[in-house]
A and B are shown apart, each in its own frame.
Chain A
Amino acid sequence: MYIYDKFDHAITSERVAEFSQQVTRRLAGELSEDQFRPLRLMNGLYLQLHAYMLRVAIPYGTLSTKQLRKLADIAKKYDRDYGHFTTRQNLQYNWIKLEQVPEILAELGSVEMHANQTSGNCIRNVTADQFAGVAGDEVEDPRIISEVIRQWSTFHPEFSFLPRKFKFAVTGAAKDRAAIQFHDIGIHIVKNDAGEIGYAVYVGGGMGRTPVVAPLIKPFVARHELLSYLEACLRVYNMHGRRDNIYKARIKILVRDLGPVEYARQVEEMWPLTRASGVDVPAAEVARIQAFFAPPVYETIKEPVAAFEESKKRDKAFANWVKNNVHPHKVPGYGAVTISLKPIGGIPGDASSAQMHQIADLSDKYSLGEVRVTHVQNLVLPNVKQADLFAVWQRLGEIGFAESNIGLITDIIACPGLDYCSLANARSIAIAQRLSEHFADVDRQHDIGSLQIKISGCINACGHHHAGHIGILGVDRAGQELYQLTLGGAGDETASIGTLIGPGFTSDDVVGAIDKVVETYRGLRQNAGETFIEAYRRVGPAPFKEALYGRR
């Protein structure tokens, strides 16, 4: 875990003091809402349907148990006893009072947390592979450069008023678990032919009303030149991004309009200037940051671990959970556990303060005191000994988070939707809950196999519907909620945008429509091993259209 130095502490506490004053002035009527809104947004504070919402940054999805307990305590003291983990690996509180925000920020600051830059037209919280540091297929721990980017982008004066918001994602592994090509900049840590570590940089991806899979702009940036290259990328965008039209203001539109080749050329032209500015981080500083992410001390364990193998044989439910929820660890005898925040019929990503405390306790006991947040709205215990997995699974059962559904049809992403969000047109959570109940049967879920449903309650696509194998977009048609289906999206290293399959479905009909899509897939797959997305890419939309709408 990164630990704040005196500069981090100073800027965090100064910001708390500054925003506290701004809140005081707002409540006293010295600042109007028009003046105050951009200030509160820069501090992660929105107004939603029922109250203010505070979005707390969880840099690259990594939490200590001390931080998780603080998040739980804030939920209990200042909110309604729960929080919502988001696709940006952040945590949102739904029932916040403006007059208490300064206190909350001070509490967050006490555990080296904040809500800075979780909104506004600036560089947002960097997201990363949730298995950072423990994945076997990793070239380098993505948290190292994520932290470098966090420090560089925090209160960056040049990039505090960009044309629009700006999101980074980093993966250090061959398998993309961070959806990097759907970000403004996606970074893939790679090795070149000489065996040197560097960065492949994708620019101009995104979701929203114009979904784009980011093109590769630079296949290899050397380690010591990353920040000057990123600064050049941002500077070109900051100069030429469309400030005249909010719908065309994201970098994806600039890269699309210029063309990736021309955009890359302009970045190359800019690069010598940013290089000369001295922004690149000296190797010694990178090494200092890297040291914070040094692997913990692992025990030497010989596989197979007899008790673990025995438990799997004895208990089919446990074996299922291991199959779906335990990711191979780079160290023999360990596993990385994904805690499903998707209990059947539950609210995706929600956890009560009691549950957060219980997970923190579990991590302290079994996972070296660290917790990760995934962009699929689940949590991870990254370092669990195989011998402890059975006990962890049993305890998760008591907590209510032992569903063995990671990557399966009930592991649904859902934005807060019209139940909370002032931008939403339709409810998302309610649809996720009904789908979860409809597909609850574990054997059926396993038979269906890998299938990601992602639901957004409006075109802003916080629920990542464009990247869903099955995407659901809620729209408002004459005051009624209507749900459009997209098929064939993917957020991994084979990134693709889902195709709108036809007219939308009412809330009553949408679950049945998804069932038809699933049964169509089961009927046409070549074998049990052909996943939904593989089958869809083989056959295209036609059989699904026919199943949904008949022959036309």
Chain B
Amino acid sequence: MHMSNAKVINKVLTANRLRNGETVYYTPAGEWVLYVSQARVATTQEEADELAKIGAAAYAANLVIDVAVIDVTPGAEKKPSHIRELIRATGPTVRADLNKPITPPKK
């Protein structure tokens, strides 16, 4: 399908895990993980709507709370575009010792 008129978007689904409050992201495999780089990316509005539906279902199933579909940068890194979401993804900027990376650390 020709998409030239569609706005370019890069969105991922995020929430906080109900039982422990961790900031998590929804993956292509349907899991909720800690690292935003592993998130499933929506590049069309239809895909973003689908993510929102998945989020609403996970909320209703009491897996997660505070569900949101957020903007990320294009490419592999998938860095959240807004500073609030960047801080959510990586931790308080004033406590480097408590930060987590965007991509999972190599084992």
Contacts and interface: CB of A to CB of B under 8 A. Distances in A.
Interface stretch (B1-9, B45-53, B89-97): B89-97
Contact of A50 (B81, B83, B88): B88
Nearest to A479: B82
A50 to B, nearest CB: 6
Interface string A388-407: 00000000000000000000
A99 B19 contact: yes
B62 A47 contact: no
A12 to B, nearest CB: 24
Interface stretch (A26-34, A112-120, A212-220): A26-34
Interface in B22-78: 22-23, 59, 61-62, 65-66
Interface bin, chain A: 20 to 34
Interface in A395-437: 418-420, 422, 424, 427, 429-430, 433
A52 B17 CA distance: 10
Given A33-B59, A347-B94, A418-B83, A99 B88 contact: no
Contact of A47 (B65, B91, B92, B93): B65
B101 interface: no
B21 interface: yes
Contacts of B88: 49-50
B13 to A, nearest CB: 16
Contacts of B87: 49, 418-419
B19 A98 contact: yes
A32 B18 contact: no
A51 B15 CA distance: 11
Interface of B is mostly: loop
Interface bin, chain B: 20 to 34
Given A26-B62, A29-B61, A97-B20, A50 B82 contact: no
Contacts of A49: 23, 84, 87-88
A225 interface: no
Given A29-B62, A32-B62, A47-B66, A419 B92 contact: yes
Given A32-B62, A418-B83, A479-B82, A430 B93 contact: yes
Interface in A3-46: 26-27, 29, 32-33
A48 B91 CA distance: 11
Contacts of B10: none
A481 interface: yes
B66 A51 contact: no
A197 to B, nearest CB: 45
Contacts of A47: 16, 21, 65-66
A51 B84 contact: no
Given A33-B59, A347-B94, A419-B94, A51 B20 contact: yes
A96 interface: yes
A80 interface: yes
Contacts of B21: 47-48, 50-52, 95-98
A418 B92 CA distance: 8
Contact of B19 (A97, A347, A427): A97
Contacts of A95: 21, 98
B59 A51 contact: no
Pairs A-B, 5 closest by C-beta atoms: A51-B21, A419-B92, A97-B20, A52-B21, A29-B62
13 contacts: A26-B62, A47-B16, A47-B21, A50-B88, A97-B19, A98-B18, A98-B19, A99-B19, A418-B87, A419-B94, A427-B94, A429-B94, A481-B83
Interface of A: 26-27, 29, 32-33, 47-52, 80, 95-99, 347, 418-420, 422, 424, 427, 429-430, 433, 479-481
Given A27-B19, A427-B93, 13 more contacts: A26-B62, A27-B18, A47-B66, A50-B92, A95-B98, A97-B20, A99-B19, A99-B20, A418-B84, A424-B84, A430-B94, A479-B83, A481-B83
